[in-house]
Amino acid sequence: MKQLFFIAAILISGLVAVQAQKIKGSDTCLPLSQKEAEDYMNANPSATVTVTGGGSGVGISALIEGTTDIAQSSRKIKFEEKQKIKDAGNVLKEVVVAYDALAIVVNPDNQVTKLTREQLEGIFTGKITNWKEVGGADLKIVPYSRETSSGTYEFFKESVLKNKNYKSGIMSMPATGAIVQSVGQTKGAIGYIGLAYLSKDVKAIHVSYDKGKTFTAPSVKSAKDGSYPIVRELYYYYITKKEKQVRPFIDYVLSTKGQKTVSEIGFIPN
């Protein structure tokens, strides 16, 4: 009888272990993954899902090192990162869980309401240094960026700066929340954040990608209909040998209920 109880205990603990998983990476994805994990654990009491941020690059590095089960990323995985996974004898799976509009934000007191892509490029590469150059007050521009390990940093560089380098000495923030706080407290500040982080502490700018013909504000609606130009995929990456462990949670995120949460958080569902 004792032996049977012992075997049963092992089987139960094994089942619980299968249900436990770690998600790490993109700060953009953080509020979404945290809410999805909370709802998933409520529906599956035996499951444990731990979610942490740190940036897309940090999450993908953790996946390569085997210290996370899912890497959440606001950028596509790089060739060299894929190669490391392949060299370790592993097979990578990529899942698009949502879409995000990247909002350009300024201090609420800033009178500027719209900027072209070219003006944004000038600001973040250091060619435009005063708000009066773009129709604002005579005030020094203080641009805030994410740090280099961030997928948002790379996406912004690719989409808005057309792969030109950020200005030397730009203020780099470790998390999206830090950009919201800094822009909200600094009169001449400008930064970029995921749509889910928009709040009354900052003001979203209308953006033009057609040299000033049309300007559009970031929203779920404008991202969905294609009128807002700065939109990207949000990814989950995992190794196929962890498929049984991670797939139930990923399937939940992709379900009708999970995608409803995507909308509620402020992202764009699949």
Phi/psi zone of residue 214: left (φ > 0), alpha (ψ -120 to 50 degrees), beta?
beta
Task: Taking residues 140-157, report their average pLDDT.
Answer: 96
Q: What is the CATH number of domain 2-99+234-265?
A: 3.40.190.10
Q: Give whole-number Cα distances, 256 to 11, 88, 187, 261, 270, in Å.
A: 32, 35, 42, 9, 10
Chain-wide mean pLDDT for the chain? 93
pLDDT for position 13? 41
**CATH topology classification for 100-224:** D-Maltodextrin-Binding Protein; domain 2 (3.40.190)
Give the span between the Cα atoms of 26 and 150, in whole angstroms. 7
> Is a pLDDT exceeding 90 seen at residue 255?
yes
Percent of the chain with pLDDT over 90: 90
> pLDDT tens digits for 71-92?
999 999 999 999 999 999 999 9
Cα 70 from Cα 61, distance rounded (Å):
11
Instruction: Provide mean pLDDT across the span 169-174.
Output: 95
Mean of the pLDDT values across residues 186-206? 96
CA dist list (Å): 64 to 60, 71, 148: 6, 9, 18
Residue 17 reports pLDDT greater than 60: no
Flag whether pLDDT at 6 surpasses 80. no
- Please say if the pLDDT value at position 27 is more than 70: yes
pLDDT at residue 121, rounded to an integer:
98
Q: Mean pLDDT over residues 213-237, rounded?
A: 96
Residue pLDDT, tens place only, 34-61? 999 999 999 999 999 999 999 999 999 9
Q: Where are the domains of the chain?
A: 2-99+234-265, 100-224
What pLDDT was estimated at residue 154?
94
**What confidence category does residue 19 fall into, taking pLDDT thresholds of 50, 70 and 90?**
low
Say yes or no: do domains 2-99+234-265 and 100-224 share a fold: yes
Percentage above 70 pLDDT, the chain: 93
- Confidence at 20, pLDDT banded by 50, 70, 90: confident
* Distance in angstroms (rounded) separating the CA atoms of residues 94 and 77: 9
More confident residue, 19 or 172: 172
Minimum mean pLDDT among 7-21, 103-117, 196-210: which range? 7-21
